[in-house]
């Protein structure tokens, strides 16, 4: 019999033996088949290796190594997902708009609504003219419209009229997705099912993940949810010969949300796995993962290239590196990992301290450190070195300057560091807890809890009652865990119940993120349409500042009966300058004192609006083709002032005065706002969503002249007259102007817009897809050749040791340590 046939027969016999012992066994979870030791059998494998032949097996390890159905591999993640869903709903008990908060409410809800409507209508919303400063959706990048998961969430919730409910469901869904991804990557590192499920539950509920990203920054939350999948696919490609296609797909999903931190996290994961593979001897597969990282960058480039090309007109054009301490954590804040009341003294929006437990991860992390078997990291450092690389790099960047090029606020790296900490704990805790020297270990645990409580009090001294209660809760939960009253599933029940219980306690202290804006916007889309769709017609310019409103009136039945902020005007389809923008348009924003969410922050903007801007051919009100003007009394009180010529007072409410243009504007289907003397426009109409056709004649073609459009001069515009290119320029207050050169007595002007660099991005996308296809072809061919030759597809890895070296411990400690000792 040939060696190849003997090898095949041997593998078949081993497979049938495993199936006979447990028909429900999963082949990929056994040592020698998957490339990692079976994580639920780690302790028993170590015990068998260290026992003498005469020593009987411990009772705790008797019986089959694979539990009866339902197995831990099914039950653990199932319970984890259910608990994550329940925990995601807890914040809504005391605050129904917990997830409808800050940028989520001001930006994401309105933009998602517009993207869904556009896609359902069969078009891509690259430039939405009626949204003005907030309408360059392709330039914003962070809209997520190129991401199939985000787009699916948009479409799935589009018909829900309750905006808070819709966005809460999406965020809860990504929390569950985050939990499952964390579970997968923890298991792939060798963690037991229950330990992996515990950190999978804890990670989405971590302080920064829930109270900052979960409430305010939905794009960051979605990015964090997808990072574990990049890690899982990349690690399987190195250690198990998994397909590189999944690495590229996961990397694209993570990066195409539009947050630059998704790109950064993907790059760190690829680097960490490459180092890990190199140390494990998988040099050929390391090259494959590196190529997959390049392919990911290529297929994602088109999402960010328009942002770079567009930023020259906004407040992102200068991105220097400096440190003003804003959202910069410190090393002492790491003691908040297990202190549920710890508020890091980190400068945040409006306050010098985080009004939530920003570095909290799990109540059990720091107190259990003295009890863990750290030899696991020493014995298996090669396949675990990626944890150190990813976590170390995240920590260094997290402690870095407040602004580093396009990356602002290093606290945004907290979730990545917490992920590395959670995975490391799960791997080490899977080896069980020590039972020797209980007094010394208990003293260390109590000291860690006490010191973390002290630092929490030192950060915010008036939180002493919270610190005492939080420390007491942690110590109370530690007693049954360290006393050995629970093991495996029972340990998980204790730890998970404590995790959810601590969250409930935190929510009594922090029912919302007080560092960011709650806004208290109306909850229902139908309510917005009823109030504004027919009331504010045509181009509407709003002069209102949310900061000047009486806080008692900032609620759905108060000031929001007359004005909105952020991008919510997209829902009733009101064309207005008021919109949320992450990039802005400096010329217009400066002239009209517009901040990032559309508030007019200075009363002087009112006078400028009615005057001719510097270098402008007409008053700004006419250059914008404004038809409705809304003035907040707290900013500009015009209740007693007469309306300007051509305008009339439409209504006066408790909060605003509304003026309406009396005569209709010419060419209602176009956007030409000023035509110089001697030029006549005979036709003007918008073509598609961003183009325009203008037919004109001239009395005197000997001198050049300009047409002004009620459009912002975003980069990407081009124009031609009868096919001949003509120049475009940025006019007064950022409006678009087109030069009509001398010698033309008339013609047809065609105005076009294309996102800057999008063509280059599409070319890079094609190159990335070709590279990905090549990688899949090469790795598939290589795998088939190895199978024909009878070589194993699984890379050798070092087994997990869960005991201390026998030479370093007395006999009674070695025997005691062999037992399953209270780990989840």
Domains of the chain: 3-66 (no CATH), 72-96+141-333+341-509 (no CATH), 533-650 (no CATH), 672-756 (2.60.40)
- The rounded distance, in Å, linking the Cα atoms of 771 and 777 is 10
Residue 648 to residue 642: CA distance in whole angstroms: 8
Q: Sheet of 672-674: strands edge to edge?
A: 672-674, 705-712, 735-740, 728-730
Distance from CA of residue 410 to its chain's centroid? 14
Phi-psi region of 215 (alpha: psi -120 to 50; beta: other; left: phi over 0): alpha
743 vs 111, more confident: 111
Q: Each residue of 174-204: pLDDT tens digit?
A: 999 999 999 999 999 999 999 999 999 999 9
What confidence category does residue 14 fall into, taking pLDDT thresholds of 50, 70 and 90? very low
Burial of residue 788 (number of CB atoms within 10 Å: 0-12, 13-18, 19+): exposed
CA atoms within 13 A on the CB side of 475: 18
Candidates 260, 261, 404; CA nearest to 319 is 404
Residue 458's contacts (CB-CB under 8 Å, 6 or more residues apart) are none
Report d(CA 85, CA 172) in Å as an integer.
7
SS3 55: coil
The contacts of residue 150 (CB under 8 Å, 6+ apart) are 144, 222, 257
Q: What is the DSSP letter of 674?
A: E
Q: Tens of pLDDT along 358-412?
A: 999 999 999 999 999 999 999 999 999 999 999 999 999 999 998 887 788 999 9
Helices 381-398, 218-239: axis angle to 10 degrees equals: 160
Average pLDDT over residues 286-311: 96
| pLDDT at residue number 786 | 73
* 62-76, 500-514, 604-618: range with lowest mean pLDDT: 62-76
Q: What are phi and psi of 507, to 5 degrees?
A: -70, -25
Highest mean pLDDT among 6-15, 81-90, 810-819: 81-90
- Determine the average pLDDT of the residues in 682-695: 96
The band of 318, judged by pLDDT with boundaries at 50, 70 and 90, is low
Choose among 482, 475, 479: nearest CA to 339: 475
pLDDT at res. 487:
58
| Nearest-5° Cα angle at 121, 120 to 127 | 105
Confidence (pLDDT) at 12: 45
Q: Residue 150: is its pLDDT beyond 70? A: yes
159-168 pLDDT tens trace: 999 999 999 9
pLDDT in tens, 714-723: 999 999 999 9
Q: Are strands 746-753 and 691-698 parallel, antiparallel or unpaired?
A: antiparallel
CA 735 to chain centre: 33
Mind listing the pLDDT tens digit for each residue in 514-558? Answer: 999 999 999 999 999 999 999 999 999 999 999 999 999 999 999
Predicted confidence (pLDDT) at residue 754 exceeds the cutoff of 80:
yes
Above 80 in pLDDT, residue 26?
A: no
Residue range 740-749: average pLDDT?
90
Report angle CA 552, 553, 559 to the nearest 5 degrees. Answer: 165
317-325 contacts: CB < 8 A, separation 24 or more? 317/586, 319/403, 319/405, 319/406, 320/403, 321/401, 321/403, 321/404, 321/405, 322/401, 322/402, 322/403, 323/400, 323/401, 323/402, 323/403, 324/402, 324/403, 325/402
β-pairing, 539-543 with 626-632?
parallel
Count CB atoms within 10 A of the CB of residue 342: 29
- Asked whether 594 and 574 are in contact (CB, 8 A), the reply is no
Residue 41 scores a pLDDT above 60: no
76 versus 799: the higher-pLDDT residue is: 76
Q: Does position 793 have pLDDT exceeding 80, yes or no?
A: no
The mean pLDDT of 610-618, rounded to a whole number, is 95
Alpha carbons 614 and 761: distance in angstroms, whole number = 37
Find which of 55-69, 279-293, 772-786 is predicted with most confidence, using mean pLDDT: 279-293
**Which helix (H) or strand (E) element contains residue 540?**
strand 539-543
The CA distances from residue 182 to 76, 191, 196, 424, 806, in Å, are 13, 11, 7, 12, 33
Contact 171, 221 (CB under 8 A): yes
Share of the chain above pLDDT 70, in %: 86
SS3 565: coil
CA distance 807 to 331: 36
340-360: average pLDDT: 94
Q: Which contacts of 149-153 are long-range, i.e. CB under 8 A and separated by 24 or more positions?
A: 149/222, 149/226, 149/253, 150/222, 150/257, 151/115, 151/119, 153/112
Candidates 700, 686, 679; CA nearest to 743 is 700
Per-residue confidence band for 59, with pLDDT thresholds at 50, 70 and 90: very low
Residue 25 banded pLDDT, cuts 50, 70, 90 = very low
Determine the Cα angle at 133 with ends 132 and 136, to 5°: 85
Closest CA relative to residue 226, chosen from 288, 184, 166: 184
631-688 pLDDT, tens digit each: 999 999 999 999 999 999 999 999 999 999 999 999 999 999 999 999 999 999 999 9
Confidence of residue 1 (pLDDT cuts 50, 70, 90): very low
Percent of the chain with pLDDT over 90: 77
311 burial level (CB within 10 Å; 0-12, 13-18, 19+)? buried
Q: Provide Rg for the chain, Cα atoms.
A: 31
Q: What is the pLDDT of residue 486?
A: 54
Reported as a pLDDT band with limits 50, 70 and 90, residue 283 is confident
pLDDT band at 745 (very low <50, low <70, confident <90, very high): confident
């Amino acid at each position: 019999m040939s060696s190849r046939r003997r090898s095949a027969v041997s593998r078949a016999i081993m497979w049938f033996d495993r199936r006979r012992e447990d028909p429900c066994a999963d082949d990929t979870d056994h040592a020698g088949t998957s490339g990692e030791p079976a994580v639920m059998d780690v302790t028993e494998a170590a015990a068998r290796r260290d026992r003498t032949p005469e020593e009987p097996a411990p009772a705790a390890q008797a019986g089959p190594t694979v539990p009866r159905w339902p197995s831990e591999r099914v039950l653990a993640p199932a319970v984890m997902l259910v608990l994550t869903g329940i925990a995601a709903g807890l914040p809504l008990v005391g605050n129904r708009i917990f997830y409808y908060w800050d940028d989520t409410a001001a930006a994401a809800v309105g933009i998602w609504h517009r993207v869904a409507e556009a896609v359902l209508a069969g078009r891509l919303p690259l430039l939405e003219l009626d949204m003005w400063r907030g309408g360059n959706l392709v330039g914003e990048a962070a809209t997520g419209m190129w991401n199939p998961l985000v787009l699916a969430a948009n479409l799935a919730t589009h018909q829900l009229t309750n905006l808070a409910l819709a966005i809460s469901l999406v965020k809860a869904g990504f929390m569950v997705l985050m939990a499952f991804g964390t579970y997968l990557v923890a298991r792939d590192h060798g963690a037991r099912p229950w330990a992996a499920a515990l950190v999978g539950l804890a990670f989405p509920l971590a302080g920064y993940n829930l109270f900052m990203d979960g409430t305010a920054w939905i794009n960051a939350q979605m990015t964090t949810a997808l990072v574990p999948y990049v890690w899982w696919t990349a690690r399987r490609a190195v250690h198990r010969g998994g397909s590189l296609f999944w690495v590229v797909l996961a990397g694209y999903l993570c990066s195409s949300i539009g947050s630059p931190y998704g790109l950064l996290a993907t790059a760190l994961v690829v680097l960490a796995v490459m180092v890990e593979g190199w140390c494990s001897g998988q040099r050929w597969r390391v090259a494959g993962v590196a190529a997959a990282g390049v392919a990911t960058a290529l297929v994602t480039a088109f999402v960010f290239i328009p942002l770079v090309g567009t930023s020259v007109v906004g407040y992102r054009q200068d991105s220097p590196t400096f440190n003003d301490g804003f959202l910069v954590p410190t090393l002492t804040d790491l003691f908040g990992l297990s202190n549920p009341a710890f508020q890091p003294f980190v400068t945040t929006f409006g306050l010098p301290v985080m009004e939530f437990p920003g570095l909290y991860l799990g109540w059990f992390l720091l107190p259990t450190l003295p009890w863990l078997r750290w030899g696991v990291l020493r014995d298996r450092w090669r396949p675990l070195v990626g944890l150190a690389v990813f976590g170390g790099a995240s920590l260094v960047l997290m402690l870095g300057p407040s602004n580093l090029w396009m990356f602002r606020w290093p606290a945004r790296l907290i979730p990545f560091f917490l992920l590395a900490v959670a995975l490391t704990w799960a791997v080490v805790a899977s080896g069980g807890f020590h039972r020797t020297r209980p007094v010394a270990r208990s003293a260390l645990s109590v000291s860690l809890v006490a010191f973390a409580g002290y630092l929490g009090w030192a950060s915010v001294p008036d939180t002493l009652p919270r610190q005492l209660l939080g420390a007491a809760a942690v110590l109370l939960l530690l007693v049954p865990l360290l006393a050995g009253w629970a093991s495996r599933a029972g340990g998980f029940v204790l730890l998970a119940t404590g995790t959810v219980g601590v969250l409930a306690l935190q929510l009594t202290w922090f029912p919302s993120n007080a560092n960011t804006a709650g806004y208290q916007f109306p909850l229902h889309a139908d309510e917005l349409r009823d109030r504004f769709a027919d009331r504010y017609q045509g181009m509407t310019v709003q002069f209102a500042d949310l900061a000047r409103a009486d806080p008692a009136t900032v609620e759905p039945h108060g000031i929001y009966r007359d004005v909105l902020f952020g991008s919510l005007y997209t829902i009733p389809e009101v064309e207005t300058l008021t919109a949320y923008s992450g990039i802005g348009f400096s010329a217009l924003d400066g002239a009209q004192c517009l901040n990032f969410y559309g508030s007019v922050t200075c009363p002087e903007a009112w006078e400028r609006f009615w005057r001719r801007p510097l270098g402008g051919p007409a008053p700004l009100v006419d250059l914008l083709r404004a038809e409705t003007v809304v003035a907040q009394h707290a900013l500009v009180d015009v209740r007693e002032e007469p309306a300007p010529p051509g305008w009339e007072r439409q209504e006066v409410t408790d909060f605003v005065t509304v003026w309406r243009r009396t005569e209709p504007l010419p060419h209602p289907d176009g956007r030409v706002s000023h035509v110089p003397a001697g030029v006549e426009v005979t036709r003007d109409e918008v073509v598609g969503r961003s183009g325009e056709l203008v037919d004109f004649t001239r009395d005197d073609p000997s001198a050049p002249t300009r047409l002004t459009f009620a459009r912002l001069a975003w980069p990407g515009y081009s124009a031609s007259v009868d096919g001949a290119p003509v120049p475009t320029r940025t006019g007064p207050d950022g409006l678009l102007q087109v030069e009509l050169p001398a010698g033309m007595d008339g013609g047809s002007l065609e105005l076009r817009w294309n996102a800057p660099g999008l063509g280059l991005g599409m070319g890079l996308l094609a190159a990335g897809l070709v590279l990905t296809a090549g990688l899949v072809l090469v790795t598939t061919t290589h795998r088939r050749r190895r199978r024909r030759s009878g070589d194993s597809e699984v890379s050798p890895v070092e087994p997990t040791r869960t005991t201390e070296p026998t030479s370093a411990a007395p006999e009674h400690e070695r025997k005691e340590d062999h037992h399953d000792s209270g780990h989840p």
